[in-house]
Amino acid sequence: MPRTSDKRERLITAAKTLFHEQGLAQTTLADIAATARVALGNVYYYFKTKDDIASAVIAERAAEVRDVLDSCDCASCPRECVVSVLKKMRGRAAEYVDKGCPVGALCQELGRSDSPLTDQAYGLVRAQIDWLTDKFGAMGRRDARDLAVQLVSEMQGVSLTARAIGDARLLRRQLDRLIEWVETL
């Protein structure tokens, strides 16, 4: 009997994937438990409610967002930092067209209920905006925040339209345009 089990982590991982692929409302606790190979009744030892699982998943996504931004953060050139983010998304174009943006999906689904989860989900978007605002500011732009909002909006938007058309090349082309835009800013 291990003093520490990885079941909690397995549950979060399973929930994260399922929420992304099927949405929060469509994913049942039975789904999560089965995917994580945990008995249904045992889920409640780790999480008091379904919302608690959702909260943990959003926290995980927040950590992922931080990791991505951190990995793109080079102290020398803020412009390169921004381009790095776009290139990273470009590398996952197929995934974005296939399953959509995990952050955008969470925001859209939780944007309606005004539970604490709503603000937590929107925090994922605000974190990106804040980071980009910092970079555009370092580039000497007075309108740094507006530019940050614009770029995050475009990233979210092109993900949706590319999905609607079902064309990953379209998404890559739009991201190339954004990269070019940032480089000539």
Partner DNA sequence: GTCTATATGTTGATAGAC
Partner DNA sequence: GTCTATCAACATATAGAC
- Give 88's Cβ-side CA count (13 Å radius): 15
Asked if 117 contacts 58 with a C-beta cutoff of 8 angstroms, the reply is yes
Interface residue with its own copies among 2, 70, 75, 112 (CB under 8 A) is: 112
CB of 146 to DNA, least distance (A): 40
* Per-position b or e across 115-130, b if 16+ CB within 10 A of its CB: eebbebbbbbbebbbe
What ranges in 72-143 are assigned the alpha helix state H? 78-91, 93-99, 102-110, 116-138
Residue 27 per-residue DSSP state: -
Whether the Cβ atoms of residue 90 and residue 175 lie closer than 8 Å to each other: yes
Selected binder of DNA within 14, 38, 81, 124 (CB under 7 A) = 38
Interface with DNA (CB under 7 A), residue total 19
Out of 9, 21, 51, 134, the residue judged to bind DNA by CB under 7 A: 51
Closest distance to its own copies from the beta carbon of 168 (Å): 13
Quick one: 41 or 166, whose CB is closer to DNA? 41
Q: Which range in 37-45, 84-92, 133-141, 175-183 contacts DNA by CB under 7 A?
A: 37-45
Q: Which does 39 bind (CB under 5 to 8 A by kind): its own copies, DNA, none?
A: DNA
CB of 46 to its own copies, least distance (A): 25
CB of 13 or CB of 156, closer to its own copies: 156
Report in angstroms how near the CB of residue 120 gets to DNA at its nearest. 17
CA 115/CA 53 separation, integer angstroms = 14
What is the C-alpha separation between 174 and 142, in angstroms, rounded?
25
How far is Cα 82 from Cα 183, in angstroms, rounded to an integer? 9
CB of 46 to DNA, least distance (A): 7
* CA pair distance 17, 99, nearest whole angstrom: 10
Q: Which is nearer to DNA, 51 or 80 (CB)?
A: 51
Instruction: Please list every residue from 14 through 53 that binds its own copies, using CB under 8 A.
Output: 21-23, 25-26
